[in-house]
Amino acid sequence: MIALQPAPRAAARVDAAAVRGLLETVHDPEIPTISIVDLGIVERIAVTEAAIEVDLLPTFVGCPALEVIKGSVIEALSPLGRETHVTFTWSVPWTSERISARGRERLAASGFAPPDEPADVRCPYCQSAKVAMDSAFGPTACRSLFYCRDCRQPFEAFKPI
């Protein structure tokens, strides 16, 4: 069961902080454990009397989730009652270093190794360094397949990019 966010009172201030707060509830459908804010794809928020503008950085150019994310952002910001424009931009390349510390913790807690060069990847279950990359390519463009030789678990790791 997914609890709906309570709608802010009509008098609530519509500013960048309010927008960011609501964006904390939006997730990339392929990485549901962390918000798009923790994923580091929110590049710019601008609020005017007429509209809210949000610029997002795609993680991968061919990411098929972009339209879904755009729709989720518009839906999440709808309680603010302003027209919302979502733009994807390459003007700053998204890199895996943009994932926040909290984002990295949450990825690890759900069995995804956060992005590191292959030699630095640790098993998200037992923290062992005795891991092997099975394939640089995983179920989505942004993930690789690993195997832990200590706890004998396969796991996925975010690609450093």
Partner 1 sequence: MTVVAPALDPRVRTALSELLLTMADDEFVSGFTDSEWTGIAPILEEDVAMSSISQDELGHARALYELLATVRDDGRDADAIAYDREPAQYRHARLLDHIRGDWADTIARRFLYELADEARLASIGPGYPPLADLVAKLRREERYHRMHVTVWIDRLANGGSDARGRLARALDALAEDAATVFTPLSGEPELRRVGILSRPLIEAEAAWRADLTSILVPLGLPVPPAAATVRGRTEHSEAFRWLWGEFTNVRRSDPGAVW
Binding interface with partner 1 (CB under 8 A): 60-64, 87-91, 93-95, 134-141, 145, 159, 161
What CA–CA distance (Å, rounded) separates 126 from 155?
11
Minimum distance from residue 93 beta carbon to partner 1 (Å): 5
DSSP state letter for 152: -
Alpha-carbon gap, residue 154 to 144, rounded angstroms: 11
| Least distance between partner 1 and beta carbon 73 (Å) | 14
Identity at 10, one-letter amino acid code: A
Shortest separation between residue 13's beta carbon and partner 1, angstroms: 28
Q: Whose Cβ is closer to partner 1: residue 32's or residue 62's? A: 62
Is the CB of 130 or the CB of 137 nearer to partner 1? 137
Q: How far is the CB of 12 from partner 1 (least distance, A)?
A: 29
Rank residues 68 and 141 by Cβ distance to partner 1 and give the closer one: 141
Nearer to partner 1, 88 or 125 (CB): 88
The token pair at 106 is 């949450």
* 3 state SS of 85: strand
Q: Which is nearer to partner 1, 18 or 148 (CB)?
A: 148
Give the whole-angstrom CA distance, residue 154 versus residue 145.
7
User: Closest approach of Cβ 4 to partner 1, in Å?
Assistant: 30
Cα four-point dihedral sign 76, 80, 82, 86: negative
Burial of 111 (0-12, 13-18, 19+ CB in 10 A): middle
